[in-house]
Amino acid sequence: MSDTESPANSGYETTDVNPRTLLASVALLAAVLVLSVVAAVVLFDVFAEQAAQRDPKVSPLAPAESQVPPEPRLVVREHADLESVLKGEEELLRGPKAYGWVDKERGIVRIPIERAMELIAKEGLQSRPSPSNSP
């Protein structure tokens, strides 16, 4: 390539970046960023002060916030709680607690499922008399 060719046809940029313009742009960007952060902090402080002024004063006789919340409470360990409930139900259905009175006055008892199925297979279910067709 000869020295007489025009810079537009050289295939690459022939001028350098102006360092003053670049530094001025970076400084302006940094200043805007710092001013934005300062403005946000000041704005949040103003909003917090306004919210504190609008909030009603808490009575000294009011209960402390550390009390247990009312029912229903948030379930924190759902899987463990569900396992313990299912274990208790399984024990009630098949374990030693499977035999017991539900209503002693009416003669209703609780027996294990397997035993109930054996009794029904052996003795059958009670059936109602079929309604007669005659009036």
With 70 as the cut, is the pLDDT of residue 115 above it? yes
Tell me the domain boundaries of the chain. 19-54, 83-123
For residues 45-54, average pLDDT: 92
For residues 3-32, average pLDDT: 82
Q: What is the pLDDT of residue 134?
A: 56
Q: What is the pLDDT of residue 29?
A: 98
Helix axes 113-123, 78-94, angle to 10 degrees: 40
* Global pTM exceeds 0.75: no
Q: What is the pLDDT of residue 18?
A: 87
- Report the C-alpha gap between 20 and 18 in whole angstroms: 6
- Report the C-alpha gap between 58 and 60 in whole angstroms: 6
With 70 as the cut, is the pLDDT of residue 6 above it? no
- Report the C-alpha gap between 109 and 46 in whole angstroms: 69
Q: 22-61: b or e for each residue (b if 16 or more CB lie within 10 Å)? A: eeeeeeeeeeeeeeeeeeeeeeeeeeeeeeeeeeeeeeee
Q: What is the pLDDT of residue 4?
A: 55
Q: What is the pLDDT of residue 84?
A: 93
Q: DSSP readout, 26-83?
A: HHHHHHHHHHHHHHHHHHHHHHHHHHHHHSPPPPTTSPPTTSPPPSSPP-S-HHHHHH
CB neighbour list of residue 100: distance below 8 Å, 6 or more residues apart: 109, 110
